[in-house]
Chains A and B, each alone.
Chain A
């Protein structure tokens, strides 16, 4: 990644007394979480984390509760003070920033959307959305004009004068989203934003995020414990366990070649045909496949390839960057679908 928006290097967060010594001490930092707790009473929530987030990318951090993902995202803007390491934003280390610089970063570069919304109950929707602008010192007319725009964008037009407790959960989170967007930040951080919502509303909100991402092209770091949400939204997904990164890659990387049994178990229930692309089932071109057989791109998701393969009397060729890399046929597609069902 040539010009990443955020670069995280050797990031540690250790809770507990004397936690600051642990990353430096090789004998301690190598211990497992349970051993570390037993030996030092400390809890390493984030361990030696390294990753880059590209401009305009949707980067998902996924893990079960307690895996350290929420701590990680808070370390990015130092809502939780990291123990050691570096977080580079636009080339500058956030950990080195002074109070003023940090505040500027929070005000203009990175906004956050929270699981429980964190709205101010004594302020109307309009005042909640314009809160960040007010904090920055924007004039009333200016911040209200901008906020009305944003409220329309997140689909809350007409609710400006409502108070948070008069809105449904989904609408409250739209306010949270609007508040994050109002400051026009480069990056938006999402901390499990939809896990407190009903499934139907969650689906709407996910669609909303995808739409906003398309329209505004912001960089997004999205924390979730829901794999299907991660696969749906993420350009790339980082899976965490006990504070450590287990695997980082695109959705079909994870499903197609899990790094270990943990990930394999994790992704076992995913409908693979919906996630995997053709490259994972491409076999060598068989003898006898006609040269004029239909061609599909290697990046096509398997489910989307089903009609073409079913309608073709012969195997279908797979092409990647203008080169034929192999072929697929009905058997290979069926095996993917069957495999999933067997696992389920």
Chain B
């Protein structure tokens, strides 16, 4: 429609005069940054330890006490407040019904012997069949193998619980997310309202809303599912909207020119063309759901998460690895099946089939008969209902890993401890002290100045608002502890991102080796990372930081690698033909040209690290994460935990906006890019 506009505007909007003020801006930025750094150092040296706003962990502000009363208020009013009576409680019951249905089918019925309704054999057969129908025979075999392996690990019931909860959560997520996504795709106004909400939801670390949700919806599978829906909805909403908005303008125009109504356009054009993107959204949503269902063990969600929690509490690395293995395998199976389903959903995929549609339907029908037979078997025979106990290799895995980790702990003790102490004393403590011991007003001004330098005064305003909220919440010092950990971890993530990203971007072979590893790393739920490092390094901030680095590095590496691989081959040829050395090419061509990707990688790295540093409170990360955990488990600290959750969100917004501003800095005219979640 606006080819005309697009052709014209860029030509007219770049008057040569724009160059000069830009240079002046650069000067201003340097002055701002330099001034801020000097002020900070001077303040740290001369005003050391004053106005640090330090609040000991067991102490509360009036605000926290007020928030504590929310707890009591909800408890008192749950029974007769209309919001609970007519909205929240029925919602909880509805979710509970579905969750119980699925857990009953796959994991354990609520009555009698607590056998799954369709037994392990029926479950394996049914899920294999569904994977076949939605994807292909290969993913079906994978599904069957993975679920049988759960049985061999002795974790079939736990895995089935996790799977059933994921299924429930994904179902509810799709029921709400796809319509919302469609609305956001069709209406620019809805999109405008919904986008900041989604941004906010994605910055929110998973851990933060468990306590409020448990307060409102009580503990149990229902609130676990609701928490999961909140966490898993953004990808499918975003991708559905993106799929619909991404339909080429000329295709849509062609359809309009034939006089389609809105509904006709949706059904004949938008949904079919967006189908693949929507299924990709379902894939991401499923992965997110699995990650959250695991963490929701903390509010009594049954399943593999419970095993991991137990292992965390008893420092049982073997059990944790065994359960972690299950989680990873479940993640891989879910990922592969939904990916295969999205391939099947590609337009025109149907015509490349080796077998005709009819043959396929007949085969599927025959397969279903086998599934029914398996279910019938499971309902009558005990060996097909409960996975045979003699086929249990779980203890073997547990003992093996425990022995290995014991060996590591005894023999690498010196190495791990000196590494931990070296990093903590050499880097983390000085940096943290630089943040926590500088007077708050000075440091806040420094951060605002940096924000102004990175963006314009608007960003400075945003930064000031975020910092003001954190100060008002009474958690400045804790926020600085968290910030210190996050920044240290993100720096390491970026170093890894650049090293591996450059290697991958330059060499196809490295890319081929690394990419599956990174994909696997990304599908792993956050929880799984904690235990092995806990075993190696003990419960310290260092452990949380290491876990955060491992969690965030794949994203950063991938974004950097993509950015470097995307540099036009012509530019590279030109650089090579000019006689540049590889080092010169990396530093003079590839890194500068991938600068936007690097900034995006930093942005994503920060958000991931922040999320992990909060979960890392379970293994010794202090700061806001600890406040959240403590508020979660000690009712006298509930209000403080709530406040800490809010503070994390504002810290996240602050970091997100600042790195995004850094990302758009090179090309001033482009709009700020939306954060990409992987």
Asked if A and B touch directly (CB within 8 angstroms), the answer is yes
Measured between beta carbons, the chain B residues less than 8 angstroms from A171 are none
A103 on interface, CB distance cutoff 8 Å: yes
Could you show 14 A-B contacts with beta carbons less than 8 Å apart?
A15-B5, A66-B7, A66-B8, A79-B1, A79-B256, A103-B260, A105-B259, A117-B254, A119-B251, A122-B272, A122-B275, A132-B259, A163-B348, A163-B351
Known contacts A103-B259, A135-B259: does B269 contact A120 (CB below 8 Å)? yes
Considering only residues 100-155 of chain A, those with a C-beta below 8 Å from chain B are 102-107, 111-112, 114-122, 131-132, 134-136
B347→A122 contact, CB < 8 A: yes
Measured between beta carbons, the chain A residues less than 8 angstroms from B253 are 74, 79, 114, 118
Measured between beta carbons, the chain B residues less than 8 angstroms from A116 are 248, 250
Known contacts A80-B1, A106-B259, A131-B255: does B8 contact A118 (CB below 8 Å)? no
A7 on interface, CB distance cutoff 8 Å: no
CA separation between A270 and B251, bound complex, in Å? 35
Interface residue range, chain A = 35 or more
Q: Which residues of A contact B (CB under 8 A)?
A: 15, 37, 43, 45, 65-66, 68, 70-71, 74, 77, 79-80, 102-107, 111-112, 114-122, 131-132, 134-136, 163, 165, 176, 179, 183, 189
Known contacts A70-B4, A120-B251, A120-B273: does B12 contact A135 (CB below 8 Å)? no
B670 on interface, CB distance cutoff 8 Å: no
CA separation between A134 and B260, bound complex, in Å? 10
B268 interface neighbour in A45, A77, A134, Cβ under 8 Å: A134
A66 interface neighbour in B4, B252, B257, Cβ under 8 Å: B4
Q: Name the CB-closest residue of B to A77.
A: B257
B513 on interface, CB distance cutoff 8 Å: no
B458 on interface, CB distance cutoff 8 Å: no
Considering only residues 249-282 of chain B, those with a C-beta below 8 Å from chain A are 250-261, 264, 268-269, 272-273, 275
Measured between beta carbons, the chain B residues less than 8 angstroms from A68 are 4
A71→B4 contact, CB < 8 A: yes
Interface residue range, chain B = 20 to 34
B2 on interface, CB distance cutoff 8 Å: yes
Q: Name the CB-closest residue of B to A182.
A: B258
B273→A122 contact, CB < 8 A: yes
CA separation between A179 and B2, bound complex, in Å? 23
What 4 pairs between A and B have smallest CB-CB spacing? A118-B254, A106-B259, A107-B259, A122-B347
CA separation between A122 and B260, bound complex, in Å? 17
Q: Which residues of B contact A (CB under 8 A)?
A: 1-5, 7-8, 12, 248, 250-261, 264, 268-269, 272-273, 275, 347-348, 351
CA separation between A15 and B259, bound complex, in Å? 24
Measured between beta carbons, the chain B residues less than 8 angstroms from A74 are 1, 253
Q: For the complex formed, measure the closest distance between the CB of B269 and the CB atoms of chain A, giving whole angstroms.
A: 7
CA separation between A103 and B264, bound complex, in Å? 12
A43→B5 contact, CB < 8 A: yes
Q: For the complex formed, measure the closest distance between the CB of A106 and the CB atoms of chain B, giving whole angstroms.
A: 3
CA separation between A189 and B248, bound complex, in Å? 20
CA separation between A176 and B268, bound complex, in Å? 17
Known contacts A15-B2, A70-B4, A80-B1: does B264 contact A119 (CB below 8 Å)? no
CA separation between A121 and B346, bound complex, in Å? 10
Measured between beta carbons, the chain A residues less than 8 angstroms from B248 are 116, 118
Known contacts A79-B253, A121-B273: does B4 contact A111 (CB below 8 Å)? no
B250→A79 contact, CB < 8 A: no
Measured between beta carbons, the chain B residues less than 8 angstroms from A132 are 258-259
Q: Name the CB-closest residue of A to B262.
A: A99
Most B CB contacts (10 A, CB to CB) among A80, A107, A135, A189 go to: A135
Measured between beta carbons, the chain B residues less than 8 angstroms from A103 are 259-261
Most A CB contacts (10 A, CB to CB) among B251, B259, B269, B272 go to: B259
